[in-house]
Structure 1
Protein backbone atom coordinates (compact mmCIF):
# COMPACT_ATOMS: atom_id res chain seq x y z
CA UNK A 1 0.00 0.00 0.00
CA UNK A 2 1.38 3.38 -0.82
CA UNK A 3 2.38 5.56 2.09
CA UNK A 4 0.92 8.99 2.23
CA UNK A 5 1.77 12.32 3.75
CA UNK A 6 0.76 12.51 7.37
CA UNK A 7 -3.03 12.08 7.26
CA UNK A 8 -5.25 14.59 8.99
CA UNK A 9 -6.59 13.37 12.31
CA UNK A 10 -9.49 11.03 11.64
CA UNK A 11 -12.87 11.74 13.11
CA UNK A 12 -13.63 9.37 15.89
CA UNK A 13 -16.88 7.94 17.06
CA UNK A 14 -17.93 7.84 20.72
CA UNK A 15 -16.28 5.09 22.70
CA UNK A 16 -18.12 1.89 23.51
CA UNK A 17 -17.25 -1.12 25.64
CA UNK A 18 -14.77 -3.64 24.31
CA UNK A 19 -16.12 -6.71 22.53
CA UNK A 20 -16.32 -9.89 24.60
CA UNK A 21 -13.34 -12.23 24.56
CA UNK A 22 -13.47 -15.31 22.36
CA UNK A 23 -14.15 -18.78 23.76
CA UNK A 24 -11.71 -20.15 26.35
CA UNK A 25 -8.25 -21.04 25.13
CA UNK A 26 -6.92 -24.56 24.61
CA UNK A 27 -3.27 -25.48 24.67
CA UNK A 28 -1.34 -26.21 21.47
CA UNK A 29 1.86 -28.28 21.39
CA UNK A 30 5.04 -26.40 22.12
CA UNK A 31 7.94 -26.37 19.70
CA UNK A 32 11.34 -26.93 21.26
CA UNK A 33 12.78 -23.59 22.37
CA UNK A 34 9.66 -21.65 21.34
CA UNK A 35 7.41 -19.70 23.66
CA UNK A 36 4.25 -21.46 24.76
CA UNK A 37 1.46 -21.11 22.20
CA UNK A 38 -2.26 -20.85 22.87
CA UNK A 39 -4.91 -21.74 20.30
CA UNK A 40 -8.10 -19.76 20.88
CA UNK A 41 -11.01 -22.15 20.39
CA UNK A 42 -12.79 -21.68 17.08
CA UNK A 43 -10.78 -18.61 16.13
CA UNK A 44 -7.84 -20.00 14.17
CA UNK A 45 -5.74 -17.50 16.13
CA UNK A 46 -2.43 -18.59 17.60
CA UNK A 47 -0.83 -16.15 19.98
CA UNK A 48 2.10 -16.27 22.35
CA UNK A 49 0.87 -17.18 25.82
CA UNK A 50 3.91 -15.53 27.39
CA UNK A 51 3.53 -12.22 25.56
CA UNK A 52 -0.12 -11.86 24.58
CA UNK A 53 0.61 -10.92 20.94
CA UNK A 54 -0.98 -12.30 17.76
CA UNK A 55 -1.03 -11.81 14.00
CA UNK A 56 -3.38 -9.07 12.77
CA UNK A 57 -5.02 -11.47 10.29
CA UNK A 58 -5.23 -15.24 9.85
CA UNK A 59 -4.50 -17.07 6.59
CA UNK A 60 -2.89 -14.17 4.75
CA UNK A 61 0.15 -14.01 2.52
CA UNK A 62 2.50 -11.04 2.56
CA UNK A 63 2.26 -8.97 -0.62
CA UNK A 64 4.46 -5.88 -0.30
CA UNK A 65 7.03 -6.08 2.47
CA UNK A 66 8.45 -3.43 4.76
CA UNK A 67 10.88 -0.87 3.32
CA UNK A 68 10.33 -1.92 -0.32
CA UNK A 69 11.50 1.12 -2.29
CA UNK A 70 9.46 2.89 -4.92
CA UNK A 71 8.00 6.17 -6.08
CA UNK A 72 4.47 5.08 -5.06
CA UNK A 73 5.20 6.10 -1.48
CA UNK A 74 5.91 9.66 -0.36
CA UNK A 75 8.74 8.48 1.90
CA UNK A 76 10.36 6.57 -0.99
CA UNK A 77 9.69 3.24 0.70
CA UNK A 78 6.78 1.14 2.00
CA UNK A 79 6.21 1.98 5.66
CA UNK A 80 4.36 -1.20 6.59
CA UNK A 81 3.58 -4.69 5.38
CA UNK A 82 0.63 -5.72 3.22
CA UNK A 83 -1.28 -8.87 4.14
CA UNK A 84 -3.20 -9.96 1.03
CA UNK A 85 -6.70 -11.12 1.96
CA UNK A 86 -10.16 -10.82 0.43
CA UNK A 87 -12.43 -7.91 1.36
CA UNK A 88 -14.33 -8.68 4.55
CA UNK A 89 -11.61 -10.73 6.28
CA UNK A 90 -11.65 -10.14 10.08
CA UNK A 91 -8.67 -8.13 11.39
CA UNK A 92 -7.45 -8.45 14.98
CA UNK A 93 -5.68 -6.32 17.55
CA UNK A 94 -2.12 -7.66 17.76
CA UNK A 95 -1.90 -6.87 21.49
CA UNK A 96 -3.72 -5.09 24.29
CA UNK A 97 -4.13 -1.35 23.98
CA UNK A 98 -6.47 1.57 23.39
CA UNK A 99 -7.94 2.70 20.06
CA UNK A 100 -6.72 6.28 19.47
CA UNK A 101 -8.42 6.80 16.10
CA UNK A 102 -10.93 5.01 13.92
CA UNK A 103 -12.14 6.58 10.69
CA UNK A 104 -11.04 7.99 7.36
CA UNK A 105 -7.26 8.39 6.93
CA UNK A 106 -6.82 9.84 3.42
CA UNK A 107 -4.65 7.54 1.29
CA UNK A 108 -4.95 4.92 4.06
CA UNK A 109 -8.72 4.82 3.57
CA UNK A 110 -10.69 3.61 6.57
CA UNK A 111 -8.16 2.96 9.32
CA UNK A 112 -7.79 2.07 12.97
CA UNK A 113 -4.82 3.11 15.11
CA UNK A 114 -4.29 1.38 18.47
CA UNK A 115 -1.82 2.59 21.11
CA UNK A 116 -0.46 -0.69 22.43
CA UNK A 117 0.27 -1.13 26.12
CA UNK A 118 4.03 -1.23 25.35
CA UNK A 119 3.84 2.33 23.95
CA UNK A 120 3.98 1.45 20.24
CA UNK A 121 1.14 2.15 17.81
CA UNK A 122 -0.45 -0.40 15.45
CA UNK A 123 -2.14 0.91 12.30
CA UNK A 124 -4.66 -1.12 10.27
CA UNK A 125 -5.43 0.54 6.90
CA UNK A 126 -7.75 0.16 3.87
CA UNK A 127 -10.56 -1.38 5.96
CA UNK A 128 -14.00 -2.01 4.49
CA UNK A 129 -15.56 -1.75 7.94
CA UNK A 130 -14.47 -0.53 11.37
CA UNK A 131 -15.64 -2.50 14.41
CA UNK A 132 -14.04 -0.39 17.17
CA UNK A 133 -14.22 3.26 18.21
CA UNK A 134 -11.69 5.76 19.56
CA UNK A 135 -11.22 5.35 23.30
CA UNK A 136 -12.13 1.65 23.28
CA UNK A 137 -9.81 -0.80 25.05
CA UNK A 138 -8.87 -3.95 23.13
CA UNK A 139 -6.96 -7.13 23.90
CA UNK A 140 -4.98 -9.37 21.57
CA UNK A 141 -7.27 -11.11 19.10
CA UNK A 142 -10.25 -8.72 19.42
CA UNK A 143 -11.65 -7.79 16.01
CA UNK A 144 -10.89 -4.16 15.01
CA UNK A 145 -12.37 -4.22 11.51
CA UNK A 146 -12.72 -5.99 8.18
CA UNK A 147 -10.17 -5.86 5.38
CA UNK A 148 -10.98 -3.88 2.28
CA UNK A 149 -9.72 -1.69 -0.53
CA UNK A 150 -10.44 1.87 0.64
CA UNK A 151 -8.03 4.74 0.03
CA UNK A 152 -5.08 4.50 -2.36
CA UNK A 153 -4.93 0.79 -3.24
CA UNK A 154 -4.71 -1.60 -6.18
CA UNK A 155 -6.71 -4.37 -4.51
CA UNK A 156 -8.01 -5.64 -1.17
CA UNK A 157 -5.49 -6.17 1.61
CA UNK A 158 -4.52 -5.10 5.13
CA UNK A 159 -1.76 -2.50 5.24
CA UNK A 160 -0.29 -2.96 8.74
CA UNK A 161 2.22 -0.64 10.42
CA UNK A 162 3.92 -0.44 13.78
CA UNK A 163 5.02 3.06 14.81
CA UNK A 164 6.77 4.75 17.70
CA UNK A 165 4.22 7.61 17.56
CA UNK A 166 0.73 7.83 16.03
CA UNK A 167 2.21 9.89 13.19
CA UNK A 168 3.33 8.97 9.68
CA UNK A 169 7.11 8.59 9.44
CA UNK A 170 7.73 6.89 12.79
CA UNK A 171 7.47 3.36 11.38
CA UNK A 172 9.40 0.30 12.51
CA UNK A 173 9.55 -3.14 10.86
CA UNK A 174 6.17 -4.71 11.73
CA UNK A 175 7.31 -8.28 11.00
CA UNK A 176 10.38 -7.83 13.22
CA UNK A 177 8.19 -6.31 15.92
CA UNK A 178 5.75 -9.24 15.88
CA UNK A 179 8.54 -11.84 15.77
CA UNK A 180 10.23 -10.03 18.66
CA UNK A 181 7.06 -10.68 20.66
CA UNK A 182 6.97 -14.41 19.87
CA UNK A 183 4.56 -14.29 16.91
CA UNK A 184 5.34 -16.53 13.91
CA UNK A 185 5.01 -14.48 10.71
CA UNK A 186 5.16 -15.94 7.21
Structure 2
Protein backbone atom coordinates (compact mmCIF):
# COMPACT_ATOMS: atom_id res chain seq x y z
CA UNK A 1 0.00 0.00 0.00
CA UNK A 2 1.35 3.41 -0.92
CA UNK A 3 2.20 5.98 1.75
CA UNK A 4 -0.44 8.42 0.37
CA UNK A 5 -3.24 5.86 0.55
CA UNK A 6 -2.20 4.90 4.06
CA UNK A 7 -2.33 8.52 5.12
CA UNK A 8 -5.87 8.91 3.76
CA UNK A 9 -7.05 5.81 5.64
CA UNK A 10 -5.50 7.06 8.87
CA UNK A 11 -7.22 10.45 8.59
CA UNK A 12 -10.54 8.76 7.85
CA UNK A 13 -10.21 6.54 10.94
CA UNK A 14 -9.42 9.53 13.16
CA UNK A 15 -12.49 11.41 11.86
CA UNK A 16 -14.75 8.43 12.51
CA UNK A 17 -13.39 8.16 16.05
CA UNK A 18 -14.03 11.84 16.72
CA UNK A 19 -17.55 11.57 15.33
CA UNK A 20 -18.24 8.63 17.64
CA UNK A 21 -16.93 10.50 20.64
CA UNK A 22 -19.08 13.55 19.82
CA UNK A 23 -22.19 11.40 19.32
CA UNK A 24 -21.61 9.66 22.62
CA UNK A 25 -21.10 13.00 24.32
CA UNK A 26 -24.29 14.36 22.79
CA UNK A 27 -26.25 11.33 24.00
CA UNK A 28 -24.94 11.73 27.53
CA UNK A 29 -25.83 15.42 27.49
CA UNK A 30 -29.34 14.76 26.26
CA UNK A 31 -29.84 12.08 28.92
CA UNK A 32 -28.49 14.33 31.66
CA UNK A 33 -31.00 17.14 30.95
CA UNK A 34 -30.01 20.06 33.15
CA UNK A 35 -26.41 18.80 33.17
CA UNK A 36 -26.25 19.52 29.45
CA UNK A 37 -27.30 23.10 30.09
CA UNK A 38 -24.43 23.60 32.52
CA UNK A 39 -22.00 22.00 30.12
CA UNK A 40 -23.19 24.22 27.28
CA UNK A 41 -22.65 27.37 29.35
CA UNK A 42 -19.36 26.19 30.68
CA UNK A 43 -20.79 25.74 34.25
CA UNK A 44 -22.06 29.33 34.49
CA UNK A 45 -22.31 29.73 38.31
CA UNK A 46 -23.97 33.19 38.33
CA UNK A 47 -26.91 31.97 36.22
CA UNK A 48 -27.41 29.00 38.59
CA UNK A 49 -27.32 31.26 41.67
CA UNK A 50 -29.92 33.55 40.12
CA UNK A 51 -32.28 30.66 39.46
CA UNK A 52 -31.78 29.31 42.99
CA UNK A 53 -32.41 32.73 44.58
CA UNK A 54 -35.64 33.12 42.62
CA UNK A 55 -36.79 29.67 43.72
CA UNK A 56 -36.03 30.48 47.37
CA UNK A 57 -37.96 33.75 47.13
CA UNK A 58 -40.93 31.97 45.56
CA UNK A 59 -40.88 29.31 48.28
CA UNK A 60 -40.66 32.00 50.99
CA UNK A 61 -43.65 33.79 49.47
CA UNK A 62 -45.69 30.58 49.44
CA UNK A 63 -44.76 29.81 53.04
CA UNK A 64 -45.58 33.36 54.14
CA UNK A 65 -48.98 33.09 52.47
CA UNK A 66 -49.60 29.75 54.17
CA UNK A 67 -48.64 31.20 57.57
CA UNK A 68 -50.95 34.17 56.97
CA UNK A 69 -53.86 31.87 56.13
CA UNK A 70 -53.10 29.77 59.20
CA UNK A 71 -53.16 32.93 61.35
CA UNK A 72 -56.53 33.99 59.94
CA UNK A 73 -57.94 30.52 60.57
CA UNK A 74 -56.56 30.53 64.12
CA UNK A 75 -58.14 33.95 64.82
CA UNK A 76 -61.46 32.79 63.40
CA UNK A 77 -61.34 29.62 65.47
CA UNK A 78 -60.53 31.59 68.62
CA UNK A 79 -63.42 33.98 67.96
CA UNK A 80 -65.76 31.05 67.37
CA UNK A 81 -64.64 29.36 70.59
CA UNK A 82 -65.17 32.58 72.52
CA UNK A 83 -68.66 33.00 71.06
CA UNK A 84 -69.55 29.41 71.96
CA UNK A 85 -68.23 29.87 75.50
CA UNK A 86 -70.29 33.05 75.92
CA UNK A 87 -73.39 31.33 74.58
CA UNK A 88 -72.85 28.34 76.84
CA UNK A 89 -72.34 30.61 79.84
CA UNK A 90 -75.56 32.47 79.09
CA UNK A 91 -77.52 29.22 78.65
CA UNK A 92 -76.30 27.83 81.99
CA UNK A 93 -77.98 30.72 83.87
CA UNK A 94 -81.34 32.30 83.14
CA UNK A 95 -83.89 34.83 84.40
CA UNK A 96 -86.23 33.60 87.17
CA UNK A 97 -89.26 34.66 85.08
CA UNK A 98 -89.70 35.13 81.33
CA UNK A 99 -91.55 38.47 81.02
CA UNK A 100 -91.28 41.02 83.79
CA UNK A 101 -90.73 44.59 84.89
CA UNK A 102 -88.00 45.34 87.42
CA UNK A 103 -89.51 47.10 90.42
CA UNK A 104 -87.91 47.46 93.87
CA UNK A 105 -84.14 47.20 93.53
CA UNK A 106 -81.43 45.74 95.75
CA UNK A 107 -80.38 47.99 98.64
CA UNK A 108 -83.42 50.23 98.40
CA UNK A 109 -84.67 51.72 101.64
CA UNK A 110 -88.25 52.17 102.79
CA UNK A 111 -90.93 51.23 105.28
CA UNK A 112 -91.57 47.94 103.49
CA UNK A 113 -88.35 46.43 104.83
CA UNK A 114 -86.81 46.11 108.29
CA UNK A 115 -83.51 47.25 106.81
CA UNK A 116 -82.72 47.79 103.14
CA UNK A 117 -84.24 45.69 100.37
CA UNK A 118 -82.29 42.42 100.19
CA UNK A 119 -83.20 41.40 96.65
CA UNK A 120 -84.61 42.41 93.30
CA UNK A 121 -88.35 42.42 92.68
CA UNK A 122 -89.69 41.17 89.34
CA UNK A 123 -93.20 42.55 88.80
CA UNK A 124 -95.31 39.82 87.13
CA UNK A 125 -98.98 38.75 87.14
CA UNK A 126 -100.19 36.38 89.82
CA UNK A 127 -99.48 32.75 88.93
CA UNK A 128 -96.53 33.44 86.59
CA UNK A 129 -94.23 30.39 86.35
CA UNK A 130 -91.05 30.89 88.38
CA UNK A 131 -87.88 29.18 87.07
CA UNK A 132 -84.70 28.22 88.86
CA UNK A 133 -81.89 30.38 87.49
CA UNK A 134 -79.28 27.62 87.58
CA UNK A 135 -79.06 23.90 88.26
CA UNK A 136 -78.76 22.94 91.91
CA UNK A 137 -80.37 21.38 94.97
CA UNK A 138 -83.38 22.70 96.86
CA UNK A 139 -82.28 23.38 100.46
CA UNK A 140 -85.33 25.31 101.67
CA UNK A 141 -88.98 25.26 100.62
CA UNK A 142 -92.05 26.29 102.57
CA UNK A 143 -94.12 29.05 104.20
CA UNK A 144 -92.78 31.78 106.49
CA UNK A 145 -89.89 32.32 104.14
CA UNK A 146 -88.91 28.64 104.54
CA UNK A 147 -87.35 29.63 107.85
CA UNK A 148 -86.18 33.14 106.91
CA UNK A 149 -89.21 34.92 108.35
CA UNK A 150 -92.89 35.50 107.53
CA UNK A 151 -92.16 38.64 105.49
CA UNK A 152 -91.03 36.41 102.61
CA UNK A 153 -94.24 34.39 102.50
CA UNK A 154 -93.87 31.11 100.60
CA UNK A 155 -90.23 30.79 99.59
CA UNK A 156 -87.62 28.49 98.04
CA UNK A 157 -83.83 28.49 98.36
CA UNK A 158 -81.62 26.56 95.91
CA UNK A 159 -77.93 25.79 96.37
CA UNK A 160 -75.72 25.95 93.26
CA UNK A 161 -72.44 24.21 92.50
CA UNK A 162 -70.45 27.47 92.53
CA UNK A 163 -71.29 28.03 96.21
CA UNK A 164 -74.05 30.59 95.68
CA UNK A 165 -77.71 30.30 96.65
CA UNK A 166 -80.78 31.70 94.92
CA UNK A 167 -83.99 32.58 96.77
CA UNK A 168 -87.54 32.97 95.39
CA UNK A 169 -90.17 34.54 97.63
CA UNK A 170 -93.84 35.69 97.87
CA UNK A 171 -94.85 32.59 95.90
CA UNK A 172 -98.47 31.50 95.53
CA UNK A 173 -97.42 27.89 95.04
CA UNK A 174 -94.29 25.80 95.68
CA UNK A 175 -93.66 22.90 93.27
CA UNK A 176 -90.42 21.43 94.66
CA UNK A 177 -89.26 19.83 97.90
CA UNK A 178 -86.09 19.97 100.01
CA UNK A 179 -83.39 17.73 98.60
CA UNK A 180 -84.74 17.79 95.04
CA UNK A 181 -82.29 18.26 92.18
CA UNK A 182 -83.39 20.95 89.74
CA UNK A 183 -82.01 22.03 86.39
CA UNK A 184 -81.60 25.45 84.81
CA UNK A 185 -84.95 26.89 83.71
CA UNK A 186 -87.05 24.28 85.50
CA UNK A 187 -90.33 25.57 86.92
CA UNK A 188 -90.21 25.48 90.72
CA UNK A 189 -93.27 27.54 91.68
CA UNK A 190 -95.76 30.25 90.80
CA UNK A 191 -95.48 33.93 91.60
CA UNK A 192 -97.78 35.31 94.26
CA UNK A 193 -98.52 37.94 96.87
CA UNK A 194 -97.81 36.10 100.12
CA UNK A 195 -95.94 37.60 103.07
CA UNK A 196 -95.05 41.26 103.26
CA UNK A 197 -96.00 42.15 99.68
CA UNK A 198 -97.71 45.15 98.12
CA UNK A 199 -98.85 43.25 95.03
CA UNK A 200 -98.09 40.20 92.86
CA UNK A 201 -94.39 39.91 92.15
CA UNK A 202 -91.35 37.68 92.62
CA UNK A 203 -88.78 38.65 95.22
CA UNK A 204 -85.43 37.21 94.05
CA UNK A 205 -82.13 37.03 95.91
CA UNK A 206 -78.59 35.73 95.34
CA UNK A 207 -76.93 34.75 98.60
CA UNK A 208 -73.54 33.52 99.79
CA UNK A 209 -75.26 31.28 102.39
CA UNK A 210 -78.76 29.76 102.49
CA UNK A 211 -79.87 32.24 105.14
CA UNK A 212 -81.17 35.79 105.33
CA UNK A 213 -78.49 38.48 105.67
CA UNK A 214 -76.01 37.11 103.10
CA UNK A 215 -77.56 38.60 99.97
CA UNK A 216 -75.57 40.31 97.19
CA UNK A 217 -76.87 42.40 94.30
CA UNK A 218 -78.74 39.80 92.20
CA UNK A 219 -78.92 41.86 89.01
CA UNK A 220 -75.17 42.46 88.98
CA UNK A 221 -74.60 38.77 89.62
CA UNK A 222 -76.89 37.59 86.81
CA UNK A 223 -75.24 39.99 84.40
CA UNK A 224 -71.81 38.65 85.42
CA UNK A 225 -72.85 35.15 84.34
CA UNK A 226 -74.21 36.28 80.99
CA UNK A 227 -77.89 36.92 81.71
CA UNK A 228 -79.35 40.15 80.29
CA UNK A 229 -81.59 41.56 83.00
TM range (shorter): 0.7 to 0.9
Residues matched between the structures, number = 143
- 4+ residue stretches of structure 1 with deviation over 6 A? none
The structure having more radius of gyration, on CA atoms, is 2
1:94 aligned partner: 133
- State the Cα deviation string for residues 129-175 of structure 1 (Å, max 9, x = none): 01111000011100110000001111000000001011111110000
- Unaligned runs of 5+ residues in structure 2 are 1-79
Pairwise CA distance, 1:180: 0.6
TM superposition shift of 1:71: 3.3
Correspondence for 2:183 among 124, 127, 139: 139
Q: CA deviation at 1:35?
A: 2.2
Instruction: Choose from 120, 128, 138 the match for 1:81.
Output: 120
Alpha-carbon distance in structure 2 between the residues aligned to 1:36 and 1:96: 17
Query: 1:86-110 CA deviation, whole Å, 9 max, x = no partner?
Result: 1100000100110001101211000
Structure 1 position 108 matched with structure 2 position 171: no
Whose strand proportion is higher, 1 or 2?
1
Distance 1:48 1:166 in 2: 24
- Which of the two has greater helix per residue? 2
1:48 Cα deviation from its structure 2 partner = 1.4
Aligned position for 2:209:
165
User: Aligned equivalents of 2:203 and 2:121: distance in 1?
Assistant: 5
- 1:64 corresponds to: 104
Normalised by the length of structure 2, the TM-score is 0.59
- Cα deviation, residue 69, structure 1: 1.6
Asked if the contact 2:112/2:196 (under 8 Å) is kept, the reply is no
SS at match of 1:125: strand
Q: Does the 8 Å CA contact 2:96/2:133 hold for their aligned counterparts? A: yes
Tell me how far apart the structure 1 counterparts of residues 136 and 162 of structure 2 sit (CA, whole Å): 8
Match of residue 173 from structure 2: 129
Normalising by structure 1, what TM-score? Answer: 0.73
Task: Spell out, residue by residue over 1:47-102, the C-alpha distance to the aligned partner (whole angstroms, 9 max, x if none).
Answer: 813xx000000110101011112232122x11000000011000001001100011
Question: Distance between the aligned counterparts of 1:132 and 1:163, measured in 2?
Answer: 19
